[in-house]
Amino acid sequence: MDVQKIKQRFGIIGNSEGLNRAIDVASQVAPTDLSVLITGASGTGKEVFPQIIHNYSSRKHGKYIPVNCGAIPDGTIDSELFGHEKGSFTGAHDSRKGYFEEANNGTIFLDEVAELPLSTQVRLLRVLETGEFFRVGSSKVQKTDVRVIAATNVDVVKSIEENKFREDLYYRLNTVPIVIPVLKEREGDIYLLFRKFATDFAERYRMPSISLSDEARRILDNYEWPGNVRQLKNITEQLSVIEAQRLVNEDVIKKYLPNYYPNKLPALYKKELVDEKTFATEREILYKVLFDMKSDLNNVKKLVHEFIDKGVDVNDLKNTDQFIQNINQSSSSLLNSSNVQQPPINQLSDPDIEDTEEFVEESLSLQDKEIELIRKALIKHNGKRKYAAQDLGISERTLYRKIKEYDID
């Protein structure tokens, strides 16, 4: 199927490779009855893809029922999905069909499927495997012929490890995976979406459309967009309503971008989760102090050896020796207080000591250190960005952006 025609029909804006790939997979899987699992961050537009699949399938004349699993309380989710019999629970005054009965010969879209309780996941697995289910309070088997499409914005594999999601259900739903890219990874699409939202808003309320200066556009393209397309749309509408000037410059747009840092470094300041560790800690400062002290100590040792090579009497080095001992004591005290493991530095008590340590001036560039840490993390995890990002204390999309920015192999 023509990807461009699908975009026009469903109002999809953008030409990024990841977006086109997701649309192409959706159109190819549509004629089948395979289960589909759509994954992507909140606000990326996952809800459009089930509609594409349904409208290009043989079930397009049947019902299409979207269900937000996260918005239904655990106590009523089984009743909503599978129905219930009269008197099966308090308030059940009549029998009621569930969504799976209503969607017979059609499509049901289970948004935020990872929010389902484990007991409901067991019922859903049976429907997927046999097409059978029980109403709440009934022992009569019901049959249904439904195409199931699910979506989630959480890491399902992690949920499986935490025993929050059934592994067998995951593989049953994930027959065909569709991954929706985050807005930050959709290069070139951000400004296109901004223009679309600005034009639509201006037409709806009959006002001049807003536009961006070159610098404001650059800021828009470099922003992280944690809320993805939904956040971009909200900010565009805010600018359209609040700003009297129709040309938005960089100073104005910065006011609408939460936590905007033009030279933001990943892992140093951004804290994704409460339990995540970043590099901006007291321990990092302590390491820096210790490395500086070690450098000073090495310079002194080098100077002492030069004196020895020139035949200077060792007794004349008494004060230098004392200075080195003082540095060692200070360094040991700091190391013990922070539980930092550092190999002991040999004190110069004998002129015959041979020091083979190489004196290399260390780069203090933050960018160089950042590149070095990213390379080490990627090597440690065999190139797996997800685990490298977790080790660095940053999001996977931030790591991806930095790899592109620094052209890291």
State the CATH number of the domain containing residue 171: 3.40.50.300
* Cα–Cα dist 47/112, whole Å: 11
**Alpha carbons within 13 A on the beta-carbon side of 31:** 3
Give me the pLDDT at residue 92, please: 87
Predicted confidence (pLDDT) at residue 363 exceeds the cutoff of 80: no
pLDDT in tens, 169-198: 999 999 999 999 999 999 899 999 999 999
Predicted confidence (pLDDT) at residue 331 exceeds the cutoff of 80: no
Instruction: Specify whether 67 is located in the same domain as 151.
Output: yes
Which of 105-109, 250-254, 386-390 is predicted with the least confidence, judged by mean pLDDT?
A: 386-390
Predicted confidence (pLDDT) at residue 362 exceeds the cutoff of 60: no
Q: Is residue 273 part of a domain?
A: no
Q: Which 3-state string (H, E, C) describes the chain?
A: CCHHHHHHHHCCCCCCHHHHHHHHHHHHHCCCCCCEEEECCCCCCCCHHHHHHHHCCCCCCCCEEEEEHHHCCHHHHHHHHHCECCCCCCCCCCCECCHHHHCCCCEEEEECHHHCCHHHHHHHHHHHHHCEEECECCCCEEECCCEEEEEECCCHHHHHHCCCCCHHHHHHHCCEEEECCCHHHCCCHHHHHHHHHHHHHHHHHCCCCCEECHHHHHHHHHCCCCCHHHHHHHHHHHHHHHCCCCEECHHHHHCCCCCCCCCCCCCCCCCCCCCCCCCCCHHHHHHHHHHHHHHHHHHHHHHHHHHHHCCCCHHHHHHHHHHHHHHHHHHHHHHHHHCCCCCCCCCCCCCCCCCCCCCCCCCCCHHHHHHHHHHHHHHHCCCCHHHHHHHHCCCHHHHHHHHHHHCCC
Determine what percent of the chain is predicted with pLDDT higher than 90: 60
Instruction: Specify whether 240 is located in the same domain as 286.
Output: no
Predicted confidence (pLDDT) at residue 264 exceeds the cutoff of 70: no
Instruction: Specify whether 52 is located in the same domain as 93.
Output: yes
Predicted confidence (pLDDT) at residue 402 exceeds the cutoff of 50: yes
Give me the pLDDT at residue 84, please: 94
Predicted confidence (pLDDT) at residue 260 exceeds the cutoff of 70: no
Q: How many CB atoms lie within 10 A of CB 211?
A: 13
Q: Which of 82, 87, 92, 84 is nearest to 121 (CA)?
A: 82
Assign residue 387 the CATH number of its domain: 1.10.10
Span 361-390, mean pLDDT?
Answer: 80
Q: Is residue 164 part of a domain?
A: yes
- Say how many domains are in the chain: 4
Q: Is residue 393 part of a domain?
A: yes
The answer to whether 226 touches 270, Cβ cutoff 8 Å, is no
Span 356-370, mean pLDDT?
Answer: 61
Which of 120, 153, 181 delimits the end of a domain? 181
Give me the pLDDT at residue 345, please: 45
Q: Is residue 352 part of a domain?
A: no
Maximum mean pLDDT: which of 88-92, 128-132, 347-351:
128-132
pLDDT in tens, 5-17: 999 999 999 999 9
Instruction: Specify whether 74 is located in the same domain as 125.
Output: yes
Instruction: Specify whether 16 is located in the same domain as 160.
Output: yes
pLDDT in tens, 108-151: 999 999 999 999 999 999 999 999 999 999 999 999 999 999 99
Confidence of residue 339 (pLDDT cuts 50, 70, 90): low
The answer to whether 249 touches 216, Cβ cutoff 8 Å, is yes
Q: Is residue 266 part of a domain?
A: no
Give me the pLDDT at residue 276, please: 43
Q: Is the dihedral of CA 351, 352, 353, 354 positive or negative?
A: positive
Instruction: Specify whether 227 is located in the same domain as 375.
Output: no
The answer to whether 301 touches 324, Cβ cutoff 8 Å, is yes
Instruction: Specify whether 372 is located in the same domain as 232.
Output: no
Instruction: Specify whether 7 is located in the same domain as 118.
Output: yes
Confidence of residue 204 (pLDDT cuts 50, 70, 90): very high
Predicted confidence (pLDDT) at residue 103 exceeds the cutoff of 90: yes
Q: What is the mean pLDDT of the chain?
A: 83
Span 374-386, mean pLDDT?
Answer: 86
Which of 261-275, 277-291, 359-373 is predicted with the least confidence, judged by mean pLDDT?
A: 261-275
The answer to whether 127 touches 146, Cβ cutoff 8 Å, is yes
Q: Is residue 361 part of a domain?
A: no
Span 331-357, mean pLDDT?
Answer: 49
Instruction: Specify whether 176 is located in the same domain as 191.
Output: no
The residue written with tokens 């079930």 in the block is 59
Tokens coding 256: 């609408």
Tokens coding 158: 């992690």
- At residue 189's C-alpha, the angle toward residues 183 and 64, to 5°, is 65
* Cα–Cα dist 287/266, whole Å: 19
Confidence of residue 273 (pLDDT cuts 50, 70, 90): very low
Instruction: Specify whether 86 is located in the same domain as 172.
Output: yes
Predicted confidence (pLDDT) at residue 160 exceeds the cutoff of 80: yes
Instruction: Specify whether 162 is located in the same domain as 203.
Output: no
Q: Is residue 395 part of a domain?
A: yes
More confident residue, 261 or 107: 107
The residue written with tokens 């890219």 in the block is 181
Q: Is residue 155 part of a domain?
A: yes
Confidence of residue 285 (pLDDT cuts 50, 70, 90): low
pTM higher than the cut 0.75: no
Determine what percent of the chain is predicted with pLDDT higher than 70: 76
Instruction: Specify whether 223 is located in the same domain as 319.
Output: no
Which of 48-52, 114-118, 300-304, 311-315 is predicted with the least confidence, judged by mean pLDDT?
A: 311-315
More confident residue, 400 or 162: 162
Q: Which domain covers residue 290, as residue numbers?
A: 282-338
Q: Which 3-state string (H, E, C) describes 241-295?
A: HHCCCCEECHHHHHCCCCCCCCCCCCCCCCCCCCCCCCCCCHHHHHHHHHHHHHH
Give me the pLDDT at residue 283, please: 57
* Cα–Cα dist 345/234, whole Å: 58
Which of 181, 208, 225 delimits the end of a domain? 181
